[in-house]
Structure 1
Amino acid sequence: MLTLKYQRLEQRLGYSFSDQRQLQLALTHRSHGASNNERLEFLGDSILNFIIGEALFKRLPDAREGQLSRLRSQIVKGDTLALLAREFELGDCLILGEGELKSGGKSRDSILADSVEAIIGAIYLESGLDLCRERVLTWFAPRLNELSANTSAKDPKSRLQEYMQSQRQPLPEYTVVEVGGEGHAQVFTIECRVALAKQTTRATASNRREAEKQAAALMLSQLKID
């Protein structure tokens, strides 16, 4: 018999397990003991890749193999799965060993992502591919709807760096031009400079990393790189 918090998790998942021990197993980290979710995670990872790959194949008939692979990697990567787990409030339901519990395992991205894959594996074993596909596509619908064949899986900084390397040019330089605001409300202005562009680009954001990404995006635009 599952407690109320697990019943609420089933409501958020949109799926009720007939054998609730499968849900408990899917939520059990290896730190808790030999009976854990690692095998379900392995299965769920394979099924997730298939379902998302199939969905992209059907949605983007003109996309090339490389584009489809890139988009699938973007959707099923650990960061995305961890975000989905947080939307389900999965952390409160995880079954962890004492050490992992004390060290903040309930909020660790890798553990959250693995648990989502394990749940997918558990649903597949209990109800088969069709129902599992329906649940996964419902969970990922907002992310799938945002994609097109030209969506980049890499952030602007990575794309700019790779482009400069492909042109045998020095890597981009990022300089903090100004730091404004106070305490938690600081804003950073970053300048991006590359050898192939006469003009630098600047961007301002609430943290340095985001400002660098925005400055890189502006540079990509200036260089006319899609």
Structure 2
Amino acid sequence: MKKLNELENLLGYQFKNPDHLRLALTHSSYANELRDRKAEYNERLEFLGDSVLGVIISEYVYKKNPDFKEGELTKTRSKIVCEATLAEVASEIELGEYMLFGKGEALTGGRTRRSILADAFEALIAALYLDGGFEVVRPIIFDLMAEKIDLVERGLIVDDYKTHLQEIVQMKKDNRIKYELLEEKGPDHRKLFRTAVKINAAVIGIGEGRSKKESEQEAAKMALRSGKIEAL
């Protein structure tokens, strides 16, 4: 209950039915370890939360961009409501630390796995909706996702950060971009790579990831958001 209360305080909302929140935080691995076929976990809530997020963000994008065609509206929404963005928001509120996992999943990094965090965030949104309706969940969504929505609107959340950075760098002919692996650590099944991206000799972003490619994408993302490119 103490952990649930901590999360409620973070969200600024106290659940009328705490079971909604408990279910949102229950991973399938935990339910499976109970050896009870009737044990529930958050998969159904993920489905509902995806729809709730879709409706609220679609309405926002539609009203905010009266000149956008259908394709532009869809593209903007998909950048806001995507696995990477939702996982980042979940990570920022340390959602994984509040979740119930089976021992195996907890030991192999389930609390920080992107797909699990994104799904859990959707489940949390569904729990808020079931407990309090759109009036409760809408302001919480915009409170938690305000920074990500702003980044999308400024063009700083893209599908491929490396390509986007390359396009910007190439606008100045003398600039050269290079990715440099700084560190590789951890056992084979849980490697962590740390990479720097440089423009000429200047480091403009550093990123980490479970693969070299992921760490390079993260470095490019940090570079795009750092504001250092404009100074080159």
TM-score by length of 2: 0.68
The 5-angstrom pairing of residues 1-226 of structure 1 reads 3-33=1-31, 34-148=39-153, 153-158=158-163, 176=178, 189=198, 204-205=203-204, 209=216, 213=220
**Cα separation, 2, equivalents of 1:108 and 1:29:** 12
**Cα separation, 1, equivalents of 2:109 and 2:152:** 33
SS of structure 2 residue aligned to 1:61: coil
**Cα separation, 2, equivalents of 1:59 and 1:132:** 19
Give the aligned residue type for 2:17: D
What are the ranges of 5 or more consecutive residues in structure 1 without an aligned counterpart? 162-173, 192-201, 218-226
**Cα separation, 1, equivalents of 2:152 and 2:99:** 31
SS of structure 1 residue aligned to 2:40: coil
**Cα separation, 2, equivalents of 1:55 and 1:16:** 25
Q: 1:58 to 1:88 in 2, by over 3 A?
A: same
Q: Contact 1:27–1:119 (CA<8 Å) still a contact in 2?
A: yes
Give the aligned residue type for 2:107: K
Question: Percent identical across equivalent pairs?
Answer: 39
The one-character-per-residue Cα deviations of 1:138-170 (angstroms, maximum 9, x if unpaired) are 222222234438666333544699xxxxxxxxx
Q: 1:6 to 1:69 in 2, by over 3 A?
A: same
Moved more, 134-143 or 67-76: 134-143
Q: Contact 1:175–1:190 (CA<8 Å) still a contact in 2?
A: yes
**Cα separation, 1, equivalents of 2:15 and 2:91:** 20
The one-character-per-residue Cα deviations of 1:59-100 (angstroms, maximum 9, x if unpaired) are 111122212111111111112111111222212110011111
SS of structure 2 residue aligned to 1:72: helix
**Cα separation, 2, equivalents of 1:138 and 1:14:** 10
Q: Contact 1:51–1:133 (CA<8 Å) still a contact in 2?
A: yes
**Rg larger for:** 1
CA RMSD of aligned residues (A): 3.7
Q: Contact 2:49–2:126 (CA<8 Å) still a contact in 1?
A: yes
Q: Contact 1:203–1:211 (CA<8 Å) still a contact in 2?
A: no
SS of structure 1 residue aligned to 2:47: helix
**Could you tell me how far 1:205 is from its partner in structure 2?**
4.1
Q: 1:204 to 1:117 in 2, by over 3 A?
A: same
